[in-house]
Amino acid sequence: MAVKTVAADPPIPNGYKISASILLVLDALLVSLIIAYVPYTKIDWDAYMSQVSGFLQGERDYRNLKGDTGPLVYPAGFLYVYSAIQFVTGGEVYPAQILFGILYIINLGIILFIYIKTNALPWWALCLLSLSKRVHSIFVLRLFNDCFAMTLLHAALASLLYQRWHLALIIFSGAVSIKMNVLLYAPPLLVLMLKGMNLGGVLSSLSAAALVQILFGLPFLLSQPIGYISRAFNLGRVFIHFWSVNFKFVPEEVFVSKGFATILLTVHLVLLTVFAHYKWCKHEGGLIHFLHSRFSYENSSSVISRPSSFCRSLNHDSTFKILSKEHIVTVMFVGNFIGIVCARSLHYQFYSWYFYSLPFLLWKTPFPTPLRLILFGGVEICWNIYPSNFLSSLLLFCIHLAILWGLWIAPCEYPYVDSKPHQRKEE
Q: What is the pLDDT of residues 79-108, one digit of tens each?
A: 999 999 999 999 999 999 999 999 999 999
Residue 5, pLDDT > 70, answer no
Give residue 8's pLDDT: 57
- Strands (E) located in 293-420: none
Give the 3-state secondary structure of 69-92.
Answer: CEECCCCHHHHHHHHHHHHHHCCC
> What percentage of the chain's residues is helix, strand, coil (to nearest 5)?
70, 5, 30
3-state secondary structure of 7: strand
First to last CA, the chain: 9
- Strands (E) located in 304-372: none
Contacts for 418 with CB less than 8 Å, ≥ 6 apart: none
Sign, CA dihedral 274-278-283-284, equals: positive
> Nearest Cα to 137, choosing from 357, 346, 388, 350?
350
Separation CA 195–CA 175 (nearest Å): 23
Give residue 427's pLDDT: 34
Contacts for 211 with CB less than 8 Å, ≥ 6 apart: none
Residue 423, pLDDT > 50, answer no
Q: State what percent of residues in the chain have pLDDT above 90.
A: 79
Query: Global pTM?
Result: 0.91
Give residue 421's pLDDT: 41
3-state secondary structure of 341: helix
Of the pLDDT bands very low, low, confident and very high (cuts 50, 70, 90), residue 301 is very low
Instruction: Show the CA angle centred on residue 381, arms to residues 37 and 151, nearest 5°.
Output: 65
Residue 307, pLDDT > 80, answer no
Contacts for 323 with CB less than 8 Å, ≥ 6 apart: 163, 192, 195, 196, 415, 416, 417
> Nearest Cα to 102, choosing from 163, 72, 147?
147
In tens, the pLDDT along 199-258 reads: 999 999 999 999 999 999 999 999 999 999 998 998 777 788 888 999 999 999 999 999
| Residue 6 β-bridge partners | 422
Q: Average of pLDDT values for 290-309?
A: 60
Separation CA 260–CA 311 (nearest Å): 41
Higher pLDDT, 427 or 216: 216
Give residue 383's pLDDT: 97
The region of weakest confidence among 62-76, 160-174, 228-242 is 228-242
Instruction: Show the CA angle centred on residue 25, arms to residues 42 and 39, nearest 5°.
Output: 20
| Residue 78 β-bridge partners | none
Contact assessment for residue 383 and residue 136, using Cβ atoms and an 8 Å cutoff? no
Q: Is 70 left (phi over 0), alpha (psi -120 to 50) or beta?
A: left
Contact assessment for residue 108 and residue 139, using Cβ atoms and an 8 Å cutoff? no
Please give the distance of CA 96 from its chain centroid, rounded to a whole number.
24
Contact assessment for residue 231 and residue 72, using Cβ atoms and an 8 Å cutoff? yes
ω into residue 251 within 30 of 0, thus cis? no
Reported residue count of the chain is 427
CB atoms within 10 A of CB 197: 20
Contacts for 105 with CB less than 8 Å, ≥ 6 apart: 24, 27, 28, 31
Q: Average of pLDDT values for 324-328?
A: 95
Q: Is 314 left (phi over 0), alpha (psi -120 to 50) or beta?
A: alpha
In tens, the pLDDT along 246-285 reads: 999 999 999 999 999 999 999 999 999 999 999 999 999 9
